[in-house]
């Protein structure tokens, strides 16, 4: 640390022995050792605090970067979902017949070999509201009225 060699330390010890005296030299050496230890601990604590502050600042920057990326990803997913929903609603509106078209369209003929209960019943067509609900509810199949089989 101070780049002091063995011969220099020996010279300092001899001068200290002469100046301080042999009776007080062990007590002074012990006190200097304690002070030197405290100084080293203090320097190490300051270094640790500085490194913790640097890591904390780096983590804060990383956190803001991740939050920005997450918000941009969320916005892009929201835009895509809204676009897909709009497209599906347009398709549903185009596919569902209007009231005039529903009255003008003939009923589908029953399949050959169908049970008698189905031959008497007209085919079940979902309304526009039901078709929209089916698109919203994961394109589930329309439910048949009670008592009739599909």
Where does residue 86 fall: left (phi above 0), alpha (psi -120 to 50 degrees), or beta otherwise?
Answer: alpha
**What is the Cα gyration radius of the chain?**
44
- For the entire predicted model, the pTM comes to 0.40
Q: What are phi and psi of 115, to 5 degrees?
A: -60, 160
Residue 105 near residue 97, CB atoms below 8 Å = yes
Q: Identify the band that residue 4 occupies on the pLDDT scale cut at 50, 70 and 90.
A: confident
Helices in the chain by DSSP H: which ranges?
6-20, 25-95, 99-104, 116-120, 128-136
Task: For the beta carbon of residue 28, count every other beta carbon within 10 angstroms.
Answer: 13
If pLDDT is split at 50, 70 and 90, which confidence band does 119 have?
Answer: very low
Is the distance from CB of 88 to CB of 135 less than 8 angstroms? yes
Q: What is the pLDDT of residue 140?
A: 47
How far is the C-alpha of 50 from the C-alpha of 59, rounded, in Å?
A: 14
Flag whether pLDDT at 139 surpasses 50. Answer: no
The answer to whether the CB of 92 falls within 8 A of the CB of 132 is yes
Q: What percent of the chain has pLDDT over 70?
A: 64
């Amino acid at each position: 640390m101070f780049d002091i060699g063995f011969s220099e330390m020996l010279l300092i010890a001899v001068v200290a022995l002469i100046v301080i005296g042999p009776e007080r030299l062990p007590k002074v050496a012990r006190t200097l050792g304690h002070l030197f230890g405290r100084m080293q601990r203090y320097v190490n604590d300051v270094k640790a605090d500085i490194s913790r502050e640097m890591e904390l600042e780096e983590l804060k920057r990383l956190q803001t970067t991740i939050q920005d990326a997450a918000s941009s990803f969320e916005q892009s997913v929201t835009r895509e979902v809204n676009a897909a929903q709009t497209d599906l609603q347009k398709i549903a509106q185009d596919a569902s017949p209007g009231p005039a078209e529903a009255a003008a369209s003939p009923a589908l003929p029953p399949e050959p070999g169908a049970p008698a209960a189905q031959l008497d019943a007209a085919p079940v067509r979902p309304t526009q509201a039901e078709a929209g609900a089916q698109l919203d509810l994961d394109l589930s199949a329309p439910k048949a009225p009670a008592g009739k089989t599909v």
